A and B are shown apart, each in its own frame.
Chain A
């Protein structure tokens, strides 16, 4: 029976199983490494024993400091990295399909920059007088930036250039607000909001990141067929029975929410939403019921590994994670551009 069910799913989703399975294995390995490697290395056996103690109620004897570092710092950080990677990758898939442009993602479109500015306005300038959370501020900023970029793109027909203008504007606003606050930590703060950083995230952040990612993922999957219908453009989608305006609004809202939640915790991280969807498309094709889960998993793997690299590449220092994603993402982006030019 189970065999039959699995084979049925496999005929429906050819090519997905191997990718999902390999991505899960790699994700587990990456998370294990992320837990083990750090300023104070912790052996993998301690990692698994601690996890077994915490999750399964086992009674292995482990060093309490190691257990504390693992559980309180590294695991929450890894969980947020994987949520963030999944959320940004899914946002990228959705935006690329909705806007029919393979070169857009929340970062390029200025949504991340808007979320940064919104979060900074709440956290540093004190907009909302304590009644607004940083995520809410980020959400408002994300929507505002997206609305502005879309307006400019409608007026000029240049979505990428509009996005660049929007991103620059909102990044500048963030930098201005931080600089004006005359905080000694200002420069560090600017780096954080412009390039992202996972230091300082805790379990309370994970409790927001995980449900937000799950909701975003489920909504995107629910609209997988509608996203497929956009393959031949907006009018085609409409003639296939899709309420284009409604689907767009819902999905843009969801991507703005996902981006805002992530940016309010880790700053704006580029290239994940841009490059991962391409890799996922290459592996599982363009149908969204396959593409969305594959992109989510690949994004999760990518960011967990990027965070690991950012912690170990310069000993004693944590590199902003955006530097790592850009160092990997920018050449990948160039390859996509070259490939696109060849296909034209």
Chain B
């Protein structure tokens, strides 16, 4: 449903994304992995239509994103960048309401339906009790939940998240990850923790702006790939007591 065709991105003479093509299937969770500076964030920004490629295109259900209005794109793709913050004393409820922006206009004002959608999103993230709290009083995990509630209120078909578990404690990390993998939307998510990435439906591995491999986690997370891309060795621990194998790096 979202396809990348021959996409390339150059910034100040430096190619950050070398031409690459792939498609994301409807309803799948696609994890992006790769070392720092491998181009994960840039690729996500290109897919969200925030950055403009200098070659190739992003297609949404066959239609090039660059031919669509910003509003039309925002009704289909929602994006949470890394470490999005504000100095404004915004209330949690107001922050989630921002998600309705692409659906509203002078002729389509706020209605009870929008209230319901916002409340549902807050319920899904379990943040109704934070409704009247201001942004500055929230913990990192709570802020990330608010961001995700906001993009859910946007009712997109595709959710793009850049390292949503970064800087969170382990409990919040697991909660956010579980939530993402259980959503009924297509999700494209950059992740640092490879054991967490293994929970995605498919993985896309990047190195220096190039696509190294794409496929099922057990295929992409091979000792050879890990050695080539991350420069470390990997050992796979299979234990019947665990829901999935654990990857050990050394």
CB-based contact A231/B98 at 8 Å: yes
Give the Cβ gap from A25 to chain B, nearest Cβ, in Å: 27
CB-based contact B101/A241 at 8 Å: yes
CB-based contact B74/A12 at 8 Å: no
Q: Which of B87-95, B186-194, B234-242 contacts A (4 or more CB under 8 A)?
A: B87-95
Q: Closest A-chain residue to B136, C-beta based?
A: A343
Q: Which of B8-16, B57-65, B75-83 contacts A (4 or more CB under 8 A)?
A: B75-83
Give the Cβ gap from A227 to chain B, nearest Cβ, in Å: 11
CB-based contact B88/A225 at 8 Å: no
CB-based contact B84/A286 at 8 Å: no
Knowing A232-B84, A235-B79, say if A12 contacts B110 (CB, 8 Å): yes
CA of A309 to CA of B84, assembled, Å: 44
Note all chain B residues with C-beta closer than 8 A to A238. 49-50, 70
CB of B183 within 8 Å of the partner chain:
no
CA of A240 to CA of B147, assembled, Å: 12
Note all chain B residues with C-beta closer than 8 A to A286. 88-90, 94
Note all chain B residues with C-beta closer than 8 A to A226. 101
Note all chain B residues with C-beta closer than 8 A to A231. 86, 88, 90, 95, 98
CB of B31 within 8 Å of the partner chain:
no
CA of A286 to CA of B87, assembled, Å: 11
Give the Cβ gap from B60 to chain A, nearest Cβ, in Å: 14
CB-based contact B110/A241 at 8 Å: no
- Candidates B91, B94, B102, B106; contact of A240 at CB < 8 Å: B102
Q: Closest B-chain residue to A101, C-beta based?
A: B87
CA of A119 to CA of B5, assembled, Å: 53
CB-based contact B98/A239 at 8 Å: no
B-contact 0/1 string along A228-270, CB 8 Å cutoff = 1101110110111111000000000000000000000000000
CB of B99 within 8 Å of the partner chain:
yes
Q: Closest B-chain residue to A234, C-beta based?
A: B50
B-contact 0/1 string along A65-104, CB 8 Å cutoff = 0000000000000000000000000000000000010100
CB-based contact A241/B90 at 8 Å: no
Note all chain A residues with C-beta closer than 8 A to B71. 241
CB of A285 within 8 Å of the partner chain:
yes
Note all chain B residues with C-beta closer than 8 A to A236. 81, 84, 98
Note all chain B residues with C-beta closer than 8 A to A240. 74, 98-99, 101-102, 154
CB of B85 within 8 Å of the partner chain:
yes
CA of A280 to CA of B118, assembled, Å: 26
CA of A242 to CA of B72, assembled, Å: 10
CB-based contact A241/B102 at 8 Å: yes
CB-based contact A241/B84 at 8 Å: no
Interface positions of B from 210 to 247, Cβ below 8 Å from A: none
CA of A232 to CA of B98, assembled, Å: 10
Note all chain B residues with C-beta closer than 8 A to A235. 45, 50, 79, 81, 84
CB-based contact A243/B70 at 8 Å: yes
Knowing A225-B104, A229-B101, A231-B98, say if A239 contacts B88 (CB, 8 Å): no
Note all chain A residues with C-beta closer than 8 A to B125. none
CB-based contact A242/B70 at 8 Å: yes
CB-based contact A241/B73 at 8 Å: yes
Knowing A241-B71, A286-B89, A343-B136, say if A229 contacts B81 (CB, 8 Å): no
Give the Cβ gap from A317 to chain B, nearest Cβ, in Å: 41
The 5 closest A-B pairs by CB, nearest first: A241-B74, A241-B102, A239-B79, A241-B71, A240-B101
A-B contact pairs, 16 of them (CB 8 A): A222-B106, A226-B101, A228-B98, A229-B98, A235-B45, A235-B50, A236-B84, A239-B79, A240-B98, A241-B69, A242-B70, A242-B101, A243-B70, A285-B94, A286-B89, A286-B94
Chain B residues in contact with chain A, CB under 8 A? Answer: 45, 48-50, 69-75, 77-79, 81, 84-91, 94-95, 98-99, 101-102, 104, 106, 110, 136, 147, 154
Q: Knowing that A229-B101, A236-B81, A241-B71 are A-B contacts, what are 18 other residue pairs whose CB atoms are under 8 Å apart, sorted by A's residue number?
A: A12-B110, A100-B87, A225-B104, A229-B98, A231-B95, A233-B81, A233-B86, A235-B50, A239-B78, A239-B79, A240-B154, A241-B69, A241-B70, A241-B74, A281-B89, A286-B88, A286-B89, A343-B136
Chain A residues in contact with chain B, CB under 8 A? Answer: 12, 100, 102, 222, 225-226, 228-229, 231-233, 235-236, 238-243, 281, 285-287, 340, 343
